Structure 1
Amino acid sequence: MIELVVVTAIIVVITSVVLVNNARFGGVVQLENLAYDIALSIRQAQVYGISVQRLGATTFSAGYGVHFNTSDPTEYELFGDADGNGLFSVDENVPPSPFTMTHGYSIMKLCAPAADESCLLPKADILFKRPEPDAWISDGETSCIQSPGTPGDCKDSVRIVLVSPRGDTMSVIVEANGQISVRRGPQ
């Protein structure tokens, strides 16, 4: 009888450990999927921007980008830069955008450059324009396309830090050369 109680206790302990870690593991997997979804949205903007993707009825030369705003941390937008200023405007949204993050997942912070630890950037616009695959990274307020020679207007990289309801973090990093990567943690 004692052996049965001991075996039952061991099974209960192992099962509870597995169930607790399974919930955390599932949350991390969902966060990782979200990070890759955002990276793929950025890649889609890159492909649209350097190919001949029509915007509207007649515009073939527009750049495409992705807009992030920490004041709306559960959404991001794919946009076609119809006015050519390098910044997101509400009327430039490209369906099926805006993309909404659900179940408590959100943008925690935006950092430009990516190595910046203060991460005080409230907005970020990442634009791709023909013929180069390079990213034009603006702070969402000042266009680096309209003033490319002005120091500080174009960022050399941006890090989008995502957070899960449990506090796990992942980062999507976009370099000015067009490289897009996903990393665990906030760095």
Structure 2
Amino acid sequence: MAVTAIIVVVTGVVLANNGRFGGVVQLQNLAYDVALSIRQAQVYSISVQRYGTGTDDFSTAYGVHFETALSQNYMLFGDVDEDGFFDREPLPNGENVSPSPYTIRNGFQIIGLCAPAGSDATTCMNAYPSTQLDIVFKRPEADAYIRKNGQSGLHSSARIILRSPRNDVMSVVVENNGQISVKREASQ
């Protein structure tokens, strides 16, 4: 009887917390996917990825573009015009690079962008909010060129803040030396 009660209690606790645990794991996977997309832009840039098909352009810088207005998407792009920003218009297909745009699904979203990154997500959103963020890598360096809100000034770091449907929060932090990290944050 006591063993049955213990099994019922443990099973109840596991089942009650299963959804929250699964949401945290999915949020962590999303944060690492975003970090890997940024790393992909870095690798494309320093490993001399050819931009487009049928061209001899191996000098294109690559980057990732985020917008709070498009909280379900972000773009991997080739900086064809070398302005350090994502441009939708100059080419027939803009500066998108396949498989961009990346789509965030299942109620997860980008809730904040900041440059500089600040010490945590709350500080970042209160002191350094941004509506757009462009992180660009130019060969031969692995350094990140971080710009916000379409302005030409460079920043030392950036933070992309992600939230799950259950309000769990994680951040992807990019330093100007090219370091990319994922951090767990207090719920917003």
TM-score, normalized by length of structure 1?
0.87
Pairwise CA distance, 1:61: 0.9
Query: Which runs of 5 or more structure 1 residues have no equivalent in the other structure?
Result: 144-152
Partner of 1:149: none
Q: Helix, strand or coil: the match of 1:67?
A: strand
Residue pairs, 1:93-104, within 5 angstroms: 93-104=96-107
Displacement over 6 Å in runs of 4+: none
- Corresponding residue number in structure 1 for 2:72: 74
* AA at the equivalent of 1:64: Y
SS in 1 for 2:43: helix
| Residue matched to 2:44 | 48
CA RMSD of aligned residues (A): 1.6
Which residue identity lines up with residue 178 of structure 1 in the other structure?
Answer: G
Question: Deviations 1:2-50 (Å, cap 9, x if unpaired)?
Answer: x4xx765554333221111111111100100110011111000001111
- Bigger Rg, structure 1 or 2: 1
CA deviations on 1:63-115 (whole Å, 9 max, x unpaired) are: 00000000010111000001111100120000110000100001010111111
Q: CA 1:186–1:13 in 2, change beyond 3 Å: closer, same or farther?
A: closer
Tell me how far 1:58 sits from its aligned partner: 2.5
Equivalent residues in 2 for 1:1-187 (5 A)?
3=1, 10-56=6-52, 57-90=55-88, 91-115=94-118, 116-117=123-124, 118=126, 119-143=128-152, 153-185=153-185
- Counterpart code for 1:39: A
Asked if the contact 1:88–1:140 (Cα under 8 Å) also holds between the matched residues in 2, the reply is no
Tell me the matched-pair count. 174
Q: Distance in 2 between matches of 1:167 and 1:12?
A: 29
User: What SS does the aligned partner of 1:71 have?
Assistant: helix
Structure 2 portions without partners, runs of 5+: 89-93
Following the alignment from structure 1 to structure 2, what is the Cα–Cα distance between the partners of residues 181 and 7? 45
Which whole-Å CA distance do the structure 1 matches of 2:61 and 2:133 have between them?
Answer: 16
Q: Quote the sequence identity (%).
A: 59
Whole-angstrom distance in 1 between the partners of 2:149 and 2:179: 20
Contact 1:67–1:123 (Cα < 8 Å) also in 2: yes
